[in-house]
A = this chain, B = another copy of it.
Amino acid sequence: MPQLSRTLASALFIFSILLSAPASAGNQALMELLKALQENGTIDANTYQLVKRVAEQESNAAISATTTQINAQVEKTVAEKVVKNGKGNSNVTVNTKGKFTVKTDDGDFKFRLGGRIQTDAASYAEDGLRQNDGTELRRVRLFAQGTLWHDWNYKLQYDFTGSGINGLQDAYIDYSGFKPVSIRVGHFKEPFGLQNITSSKYVAFTERALISAFSPGRNIGVQLGSHGKNWSLKAGLFGQGRDGAVADNDEGMGVSARGTFSPKLAETTRLHLGAAISYRNTGSIDKVRFRERPESHVTNQRLVDTGSINADDFTRFGLEAALISGPFSLESEYNYLDLNRVNNAMPDLGFSGYYVQGSWFITGESIPYNAEKGTFGKPHLNSIVGKGGMGAWQLALRFSSLDLTDADINGGEEQNLTIGLNWYTTPNIRLSANYVNVLNINGGPAAGDEPDAFQVRAQVEF
C-alpha cells in the first residue's frame, strides 16, 4: 500500500474517531497495526478476523459500560452533593421566575407563595358632592396555595388592607378526585358574573363596572364544578360572611350557579357566553343595601345608594357575552336583581345594570381566556421592559349603567363612561391610568351630580 493512501486512510480514521469516540480508544490504532501485520504475513486471516471481531465487540461493550458508569456516578454524586427533595422518592422543582413555586415532579405536591400590591392615586373634578383626592393602598395581598396528595388543593389569601377577619379572601380546600366533578369547601367567590370572577389584576379597568353593586362576593360554602374544553358549570350553597353569626341572628343562605360556553371561532377568535343565577335569603337579619362608588375607590362617596331595605330574599340574574379576536375584545354583562320585601304588602323591587366595553392591545397581545373557569387571565407579553422591549400597551373604553331606583326606593341611576390605558411593563407589573366621566345621575343621594375622576395605579403581582 503506497504511503499516500495510508496517510489518507489514517486521516479518515482519525475523523471517524472524532465522531465515534470515546470508547474505541486504542482500537483504531490496533486495527491499523492488525492490518499491517496481516498484509506483511505476520498473522493469518483467522487471527485477523478474530482480533477484529473482539475489538469491535469490546468497543461497543465499553461504550455501553462507560455510559452506565457515568450515569451511576452522576446519580450518586447528585444524590450526595446537591439540593434534593427531603423524603427523596420524588424530585422537586423550584421556580422563581416571577412566581415562587416548589413542586414535586410527579405533580402530587405543590407549594406556591405569592401576592399583589395595588397602589392608587386619584383626583376628582367635583360637581355636587365632595370627592376626596388622595392616595390608597387598594389591595395588598399575600397567598399560599398548594397541591396535596395529587387530588387536593388549597388556597389561603389575605388582604392586609382589610381589618381583621374582613381581610380574608380565599380560604378553601378543593377535591378533584371525583372526575369530572370537583368539590370546593371554604370561603371563596360565589359563581356569578364574568368581571366578578376575573381577578382584579386582569380586569381591563382599575375598578370593576357599576354592576359590582350586585356582586355576591365571597362567602363560606360548598361548590360543585365541572368543565370541558369550552364550557364550565359551577353551583354552590353559601352561608353569609366569614365570621360566626352575630348575637342571636341566624345567617342568611344563598345558592349560586353559573354556566359558560366559549366556542373557538377561529385560531385567535373566541366567543364567551355565560349565564348565572344567585338566590339569597337574608336570614334573621332581614336587611340589605345596594350601593356603589363611581368606578373609583379612593373616594368613599357612593353616588347611588338604596339605603337599608327590609328584605326576605332576593335573586340576581346575570347574562354575559364577550368576543376576543386577536388584540381586540368586546365584553358585556347585564344583571337584574329581584327582591322580596319582609312586608308582603310592599311591592317587590327590581334593580338592574349593565356595561359594554371594548379593549385593544396596541402592541398586539391578546387577552387570554380560561375556558375551564370562564374568566379572563394574564396576557402573554410580546416584549418586556428591561429586556429590550416596551411591554404591552392596552387601550380600553367602557360604558356602564346602574339603576337602583324602583317603586318607593330612590337609590338613583348612574351612567359612566371610562377610558383606560394599561401598560404591562413586564408580566408582573401593570401601570394603569383611568378617566371616569360620570355622565348622568338620575335621583338618589347625588341626583344631578356629574363628577369626573382621574386615577392611576401601580400594580405588582408575584
Contact = CB atoms under 8 A, between A and B. Distances in A.
Contacts of A87: 95, 97
A292 to B, nearest CB: 15
A133 B24 contact: no
Given A21-B65, A58-B21, A135-B240, A460 B163 contact: no
Contact of A137 (B25, B29, B154, B165): B165
A58 B25 contact: yes
Stoichiometry, as copies per complex, reads: 3
A137 B171 contact: yes
Contact of A249 (B25, B62, B103, B132): B132
B77 A71 contact: yes
Interface string A14-58: 100110011111111110111011001011001100111111011
A64 interface: yes
B100 A96 contact: no
A32 B30 CA distance: 11
Given A148-B429, A148-B462, A220-B136, A29 B51 contact: yes
B172 A119 contact: yes
A389 to B, nearest CB: 10
Interface in A87-133: 87, 90-98, 100-104, 108-111, 113, 115, 117, 119-121, 129-133
A180 interface: no
A338 interface: no
> What does DSSP make chain A's interface, helix, strand, loop or mixed?
mixed
B91 A95 contact: no
Contact of A100 (B97, B102, B249): B102
Contacts of A37: 33, 37, 42-43
A24 B21 contact: no
B83 A83 contact: yes
Contact of A24 (B26, B34, B131, B221): B26
Contact of A429 (B134, B137, B152, B220): B152
A247 B21 contact: no
A34 B54 CA distance: 13
A457 to B, nearest CB: 10
Contact of A62 (B22, B77, B98, B156): B22
A156 B140 CA distance: 8
Contacts of A29: 27, 30, 51-52, 54-55, 58
A419 to B, nearest CB: 22
A372 interface: no
A97 B102 contact: no
A168 interface: yes
Contacts of A70: 69-70, 73-74
Contacts of A75: 77, 81
Given A67-B69, A156-B140, A248-B132, A55 B26 contact: yes
A117 B160 contact: no
A281 interface: no
A386 to B, nearest CB: 4
Interface stretch (A293-301, A399-407, A410-418, A440-448): A293-301
Interface stretch (A2-10, A208-216, A308-316): A2-10
Contact of A149 (B51, B167, B284, B426): B426
Contact of A74 (B34, B74, B186, B242): B74
A226 to B, nearest CB: 18
Given A66-B69, A75-B77, A82-B91, 8 more contacts: A10-B53, A32-B54, A86-B97, A86-B103, A134-B245, A135-B241, A137-B220, A152-B460
**8 closest A-B pairs (Cβ-Cβ)?**
A86-B95, A26-B26, A21-B65, A135-B239, A134-B251, A163-B164, A29-B55, A151-B386
15 contacts: A14-B54, A18-B61, A29-B30, A78-B81, A111-B462, A132-B245, A132-B251, A132-B284, A133-B250, A140-B171, A148-B460, A148-B462, A150-B387, A151-B386, A161-B165
